Structure formats: structure tokens, C-alpha cells
Chain A
Amino acid sequence: MEKKIDSNKCFHIVNTMLLIFCFLIIALPVLNVIASSLSTPGAVIRGQVRFWPKGWNVDAYKQIFTNKMLITGYKNSIVYTLVGTGINIIMTVLAAYPLSVKDLWGRKVFASLFIFVMIFTAPLIPTYLNVRDLGLLDSMWALILPGAISVYNMIIARTYFQNSIPGEMLESARLDGCDDIKILTRMVLPLSKSILAVLVLYYAVAHWNSYFDAFIYLSSDTKFTLQVVLRNIMSSAKALEEMATTVEQSMRAANIEVLKYAVIVFGSIPLIILYPFVQKHFVKGVMIGSVKG
């Protein structure tokens, strides 16, 4: 008996230490980035900043908020994310609902058409040429239409429609003379708010964070997304020097370092604001997604 208590105690000590380690390994780098963005350039370049700002300096943020590229990128990303997510949700429901109706003739064939493109994707160049031939290059539709349905999300929605909405209820509505569209809009959708919220989040986060599509499809800088602008700023000294023109020559290099940190924090603002809300629903989504259909 004594030995059992000892080994359990030992477990809890190890366990707590492990979790504190996990906490710190995530939190410390993040803290360092935030602290550096608020420190004086000198302290940053000498590597004195740890987890609290050295000196207090918000100049970097002032420069960011007057930067046209970043503001345009923000606006574009917001528009693309809203429009894209709207289309995603509509298309996903339009595919998921018919495929969830059990006596739909040909259901298996339609479903396998979707599954196939999930496990076998066309290579990059044919996809690119397709977008080009449709005349979508350098427009926001190139970022929205090719990914209008994520088959994975569609399956999550279909599974939910099948398993969480009582079939007898829909059957009796059908006997009462409701047609399929009415059943979808008046019964299925109102009962599926939680899954729709999850899908909105999945799609919206994917739009907001995606980089590659915008990188290959967009060419005019007035259409760039935030991620593209962030990348351009962080990987090119030229863009940064333009932002730091107000600073004396000698301090420019140091100032650029602080600017990079501030740009990272700036790019994460939506995440910081929305995170508590987002994480609750994401956890729910993972649970629903893990239920095998």
C-alpha cells in the first residue's frame, strides 16, 4: 500500500514538472518576441532582452501603423477571409446534406468522387494552368474558388447531419409534405449551429493563414494578403529600410530588428483577440471530427 502511494506521488511530481516544461517552452519564445518588440533597438541588437522589455519603445508600432502595405494587406485578408468562408460554408453544406440522406440513389458514387480528390490531388502546374485558363490569375477568386470545398470538412458535416439529427424527425416532416430544401433550411441547419460554427472557424483560420496560393496567384501589390506582406517585409531588408527612414543611419540596422519583432506581434493581433473563442470551438470540432463516420 505504502509503495503504491509513493509511486503515485512520484508520478504527480514528474507530471507537474513535465507540464510546467511544456508551458514554458511555448510561452518563453512568445514572451521574448513581445518583449523585444517593445524594447530599445540597442538592447535588442546587444541581445539583452529576455522576457521583459528593456527600456520602453513603441516607435516600431508607430511605423507599422503608418505603413500602407500592411494596412492594405490586412484589409485584403479580411475581405478574402469573409467572402471565402461564406462560399466555403454554402458549398460544403450543399455537398454534405444530399450525401447524408440515406436513400439518395447514387449516393455512394457521388461520395467517392469527393473522396478520390482528397487522396489524389492534381499536381501544382495543372492546377495553376487551370486557374490561369479560367482567367482568375491575380484576382481574389484564385484564392477562394479552387478550395471552395475541403472534402475533409465536408465529411465532418455529413457525419454530423447523419448522426446527430434524428432521422425519424426528418421522416415525419417528409410525410407532412416538407420537401428536401425546406427540411434543410428549416430543420437541419438550425439544428447544426454548433458544427457550422466549427466549420466557419476551420475555414476562416485556413484562409487567414494561407500563404502559398496568394504567393503564386497574385501579382499586384494592392491585392496582396497580409501573410504575403508580412513575408515580404521580414525577408527583405529593402522593405524594412523604407519603413525605417525616419531613423538615423547608424541606428537603422538595430531599428530594423525591433521592427521585425513588432511586425510579428502585429500579424498575430487577430489571433490574440479571437483565440479564447476559437480554441473552445476547435476542441469541439476535433471531437466531432474524431467520431468515425
Chain B
Amino acid sequence: MKDVKKKELQVQNRKNTIRTIKRHWQLYLILLLPLAYLIIFKYKPILGAQIAFRDYNFKDGIWDSPFVGLKHFKTFFVSPQFSRLMVNTLGLSIYGIVIGVFPPIILAVALNYVRIKWFGKTVQMVTYMPYFISSVLIVGIMMQLLSLTGPVNSVIQSLNGEAVHFMGEPKLFKTLYVFSDVWQKTGYNAVIYISALAAVDQELHEAATVDGANIWHRIRYIDIPSILPTAVILLIMSCGHILTMGYEKVLLLQNDLNLAASDIISTYVYRVGLTSMQYSYSTAIGIFQSVVSLVMLLAVNKISDKVSETSLF
């Protein structure tokens, strides 16, 4: 008796499924194009990444080049480049994350308490603007302002200092990269905190003021806790990109003089792959990079889910 009922229910369910599929046939039709896109431009290259395990040659192509297992991975891990690239890449991203966390929060809080409206609006508009400048132009501006005869060096010299070759000094590379990023992105990154601050219940602030709290207290005990989840999410996202961050700008800033500090995994993948045409070797390094990013993202997501109950997915 029970079994018959169960079976009936299953049949009913299947009928329902078929009915909803039929009802939405147009949606499946619409989805075909994006799915085709995903397959051709996203999943096919992921399959193509198998050349990391082969010795790719043009004649045999992706599927038939001789299989060599983990040869390219081993070559990379024991190569002298490996530790240098890891140090440069991790150094640059961790430096960037640490320096980059606070300025947007500080700017957002500062803008939140501005009493003169037009002043706040002007500052926000101006600080937001560099985000839209392309990396080519940002690097162009840096090369001009920091060149040996540029305005920064002319100020240094007028203060009796010695001219600094900013763009060619490996020691300065990370700092230049990180602080130009802060210059470019603080205003943009602040916007998300500004909207989080605007969502704070005003009654909390009023109650705190009645209880004798000054603005410093209110920032410490109301504003900071309420934007913490946002900060955590942004931190997760940046940790996911720890090996893949802004390579375009690094590549543009790179030159023979600062290569010792500016060579990161992404630029190495580019140089080995497209300049020296070592396709398989470059792909192996690229897979290493993607896998580490994925693991990082999942790990940080898990940790923050446990610690602060904030997670991406």
C-alpha cells in the first residue's frame, strides 16, 4: 500500500518536473547562448590546460602531444625562479592587502561625519576619480612625475636631497606599486563602506549621544562593528586573488632594472609563455597559480565563516 503511494508520488513529481521544463522552454532556449559561450570560451581552455601535462607541439595539438606527467611542475618547483617568484608575488599582495585595508575605512568614516555637505561631496568626487584612469595612464603619470627630471625629484633636489631613480630601483618597486594602488582605489573602495555606514540605525547614534558618547566613541562602538562584515568579505575576495592580483599594472611598471623585485608569477607566466613560447611550462605554472587561488579562497571563506559568520558562499 505504502509502496504504491510512493510510486504515485514519484510519477507525480516527474510529471511536475516535465511540466515546469515545458512551461519554461523559452528560458532554456535563452540560456543556450550563454552556455555555449561558457563552453567555448571558459571550459574549453580549462580542458586545454592539460597541455601542462604534455610536451605541447603545434603539429599534435592539445590532445595528442606526448604525455609527460608532472615534469613541468617539478621543473618549476625546483627552479631557482620558484622561490624568488613566490617571495615577490606574496610580498606584493600581502603588502598591498595590509596597506590597502584601512584607508577606505578611514575615508568613509571621515566622509560620514562631514558637516559641510558640498565639501564632503567634492572630496568624495575627487578621491573617486582616479579609479577610472586606465593602468596605462596611471603608470604613465608615475613615470613622468617620478622620473629623474620629474617634479618629485626636482622638489627633492631643491631640499638638497639626491635625485632618486624611482622606477629603476628594485627596493622601491613594491612601495610604488602598493601606494599608487592606494592612491587610485581608496575613493572607490570607500563607497562600499559609505553605503554600509548609511545603513546604520540612526537611533543607535542618538541613544549613544544621550548616554554621553562623543564621536570617537560612536566610531569605535557603533560604526566599526557595523562595517566589519563588509571589510571581512572584501578581505576574502582579495585573498582569493593573492597570486593573481593586478598583473597588468605590474607588467606596465616592469623594466630591466627593477625586474628582481617586480617579477611575479603572472608576469613570468606571460614571459615564459608568450615571449619564449614554452607553452606547456607556462601552463603548468598557471595551473599552480589557479589552484592555489582556489584553495586560498575556499580556506579563507571557511575560516571567516567560522570566526565571524560572514562568508561569500
Contact = CB atoms under 8 A, between A and B. Distances in A.
A18 interface: yes
A50 B17 CA distance: 71
A129 B62 contact: yes
Interface string A39-52: 00000011111100
B131 to A, nearest CB: 8
Given A130-B45, A230-B136, A279-B128, A180 B26 contact: yes
Contacts of A120: 46, 290, 293-294
Contact of A97 (B21, B30, B196, B214): B30
Contact of B150 (A15, A27, A47): A47
Given A22-B123, A32-B151, A271-B133, A122 B42 contact: yes
B160 interface: no
Contacts, number: 258
B43 A119 contact: no
A205 B120 CA distance: 25
Interface residues of A, number: 90
Interface in B110-145: 110-111, 113-115, 119-120, 122-123, 125-130, 132-137, 140-141, 143-145
A124 B151 contact: no
B37 interface: yes
Interface string A1-17: 00010011001100110
B289 interface: yes
Given A94-B30, A130-B45, A286 B187 contact: no
B297 interface: yes
Interface stretch (B1-9, B170-178, B267-275): B267-275
Contact of B35 (A18, A26, A110, A267): A110
Interface string B16-55: 0100110010111011011101101111111111011000
A161 to B, nearest CB: 12
Given A124-B270, A290-B192, A227 B136 contact: yes
Contacts of A97: 27, 30
Contact of A105 (B20, B38, B45, B251): B20
Given A26-B129, A275-B129, A126 B21 contact: no
A271 B44 contact: no
B41 A145 contact: yes
Interface residues of B, number: 96
B282 A123 contact: yes
Contacts of A95: 31, 34
B286 interface: yes
Contacts of B270: 124, 216
Contacts of B37: 91, 145, 148-149
A229 to B, nearest CB: 9
Interface stretch (A60-68, A165-173, A191-199, A257-265): A257-265
Given A32-B151, A105-B21, A117 B269 contact: no
A216 B266 CA distance: 14
Contact of A216 (B17, B115, B274): B274
A286 B286 contact: no
B137 A230 contact: yes
Contact of B290 (A101, A121, A184): A121
Contacts of A149: 34, 37-38
Contacts of B240: 119
Interface string B96-115: 00000000001100110111
B38 A290 contact: no
Nearest to A286: B191
A123 B123 contact: no
A33 interface: yes
Contacts of A117: 38, 42-43, 46
Interface string B247-269: 11001100000000000000001
A126 B141 contact: no
Contacts of A119: 240, 293-294, 297
Interface string B177-209: 000000100111001100110000000000000
B127 A22 contact: yes
A242 interface: no
A18 B41 CA distance: 47
A122 B192 contact: no
Contact of A19 (B30, B43, B110, B297): B110
B134 A208 contact: yes
A287 B195 contact: yes
A290 B196 contact: yes
Given A103-B20, A130-B45, A19 B282 contact: no
B75 interface: no
Interface in B212-260: 212, 214-216, 230, 240, 244, 247-248, 251-252
Interface string A181-208: 1001000000000000000000001001
A22 B149 CA distance: 26
11 contacts: A19-B111, A19-B119, A26-B127, A26-B130, A94-B31, A97-B27, A126-B47, A126-B48, A146-B41, A209-B134, A271-B133
Closest 4 CB pairs of A and B: A123-B286, A47-B154, A122-B45, A126-B48
Interface of A: 4, 7-8, 11-12, 15-16, 18-20, 22-23, 25-27, 29-30, 32-33, 36, 45-50, 91, 94-95, 97-99, 101, 103-105, 110, 113-115, 117, 119-130, 134, 145-146, 148-149, 179-181, 184, 205, 208-212, 216, 227, 230-231, 234, 257, 260-261, 263-264, 267-268, 271, 275-276, 278-279, 282-283, 286-287, 290
